[in-house]
Structure 1
Amino acid sequence: MDGGIAVAGRIGPNAITQAAAALDAALPGDAVDALFAEAGLARYRHDPPERMVDEREVTALHRVLRARLPPAQLRALTREAGLRTGDYLLAHRIPRPVQWLLRVLPAPLAARVLLSAIRRHAWTFAGGGAFACAAGHPVRLAIASCPLCRGARLDHPACDYYAATFERLFARLVHPRARVTEVACEAMGAAACVFELRWRGCWRGSRRRWPA
């Protein structure tokens, strides 16, 4: 894998704000207030962060969500937060001309270009973790010392937020049938959290993947 070490300790505010949005859409406001208070993040309920946050705050929020929400609901809500983060990046961080270019490139080439951009910006989402990626089919992305599940011991993968964010970006920019699965997780004892991305219906050299 082609890797890079993230800047230690800071993560973009979407990890907090989009989690809050997903929770607010599904739970009563006082329940969300209680979750944020337990995580030590009550101040963000009235003053959402606009700049990079301490990665320990993200770790604490996910620790509380795992402790307080049923597994199926937890997975659905953290996945929704990841999809919302992908939508935010598409709307505000990835220039429209770049999005257009990626959509007209053959899917394997578009995947390589997008991976390069994700690797350059890994410091914004991996915190003190180390990000690595490899092109191919499947595409592989990995985060060692992952902030979402740091310190957790589970019998199932715990990083649906990252998986959903990656899936949204690749489905919108590389291939509409792109799907991401977390195939290894540090919470289960793996050396890193590893995500595999596959898409169906793509043929080598194809430039036509999007509905007319």
Structure 2
Amino acid sequence: MLTRKQHELLCYIHERLGETGVSPSFEEMKEALDLKSKSGVHRLISALEERGFIRRLPNRARALEVLKMPDQKAGAAPEPRPQVIPPQAANDIIELPLHGRIAAGTPIEALQGTETLPVPAALLGPGEHYALEVAGDSMVEEGILDGDYALIRRTDIARDGEIVVALVNNEEATLKTFRREGTMIRLDPANRNYDPQRYRPDQVAIQGRLAGLLRRY
């Protein structure tokens, strides 16, 4: 049996995966369940993982997979998601445009370059994607490290709590969690050593949303 909070979190993750194909961030989960800290989310995630309801996907930022729901028998597949992804062979490789380095700390020039990055098709969902090499450590608490390759789905809109590529003042880009704060846009790091960045809406253009992460060892 799951506790009420465990059940709420599992349903929330399942719903978000069905809507966007991307699991929610720890900050989003904390706010959705009205928890005081992310440590409570970590404990709930670990409990659900131990009971076989979810699993963490390796080499991907904040990637979770729902294995079953409480009303399903062990081993039964969860309800199909409305998102339809064309089948890809396990060894299919897609060459994504690699648009240089993007700051996970202070904004730097980005969205330049003509190189490509080979990416397993299984890491990508529907839509158009590109890749950026992460520079900096301000998103480490979301599992995004310096030198990682962020796989970005092109979009010009964002919801609160999503990790996005934000183009600031039409010349500098950064990878941050998007928030609306009154009449301002707040770009939040995931590192307690960094402060949020606040801008007027006309200063920020969304260039894409984090869809996955590729790490080379």
TM-score relative to the length of structure 1: 0.30
Name the one with the larger helix percent: 1
